[in-house]
């Protein structure tokens, strides 16, 4: 008989072989940190991005997630997604894109939201540390 699985195989793959686990040097001005939590369950995600100041491209990215399998898979997939993106592109990543890739069921949507929040928070932190790098064309948006 077909077994009902709680997690899609893509979630299990990221969960068992998470990509880009770890941290970067927070003291480095080219590193932005995002630290976010999901009020619904208390899971926590930390994301570090290293940005090339000249091009605004994310050259490295690491995560540490204290949370459920879907949250770990969402962060793992997020790191693959945003590496090589500009900050502007990464800022437009939506949780629905992550949820779709991982086939997350509705009750697990907030796990992918954690990943969207984490990248947004890391970008905000980077701009805070590098106020002059914030693109002027973002003003008034």
In Å, how far are 25, 35, 117 from 121, measured between CA atoms? Answer: 17, 7, 6
Residue 70 engages ligand FES in binding (rule: CB under 6 A): yes
111 is catalytic: yes
Q: Catalytic residue among 25, 28, 41, 59, which?
A: 41
Q: Name residues contacting ligand FES, limited to 88-117 (CB under 6 A).
A: 108, 110-111, 114
Q: Residue 61 CB: number of other CB atoms within 10 A? A: 28
Phi and psi based region of residue 16 (left: phi greater than 0; alpha: psi -120 to 50; beta: remaining): alpha
Q: Which stretch binds ligand FES (CB under 6 A): 2-10, 65-73, 90-98, 116-124?
A: 65-73
Q: Per-residue x/- mask for ligand FES, residues 35 to 64, rule CB under 6 A?
A: ---x-xx-x---------------------
CA 26 to chain centre: 16
The active-site residue, picked from 58, 82, 99, 111, is 111
When asked if residue 67 is in the footprint of ligand FES (CB under 6 A), the reply is yes
Residue ranges that bind ligand FES, judged by CB under 6 A = 38, 40-41, 43, 67-68, 70-71, 108, 110-111, 114
**Which residues participate in catalysis according to the annotation?**
41, 111
């Amino acid at each position: 008989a077909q077994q009902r699985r709680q997690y899609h195989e893509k979630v299990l793959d990221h969960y068992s072989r998470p990509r880009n686990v770890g941290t970067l040097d927070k003291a480095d001005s080219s590193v932005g940190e995002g630290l976010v939590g999901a009020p619904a369950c208390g899971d926590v995600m930390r994301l570090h991005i290293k940005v090339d100041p000249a091009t605004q491209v994310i050259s490295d990215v690491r995560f540490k997630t204290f949370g459920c399998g879907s949250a770990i898979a969402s962060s793992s997939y997020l790191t693959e997604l945003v590496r090589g993106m500009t900050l502007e592109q990464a800022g437009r990543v939506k949780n629905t894109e992550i949820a779709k890739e991982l086939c997350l069921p509705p009750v697990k949507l907030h796990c992918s939201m954690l990943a969207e929040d984490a990248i947004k928070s890391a970008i905000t932190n980077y701009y805070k540390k590098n106020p002059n790098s914030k693109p002027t064309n973002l003003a008034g948006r």
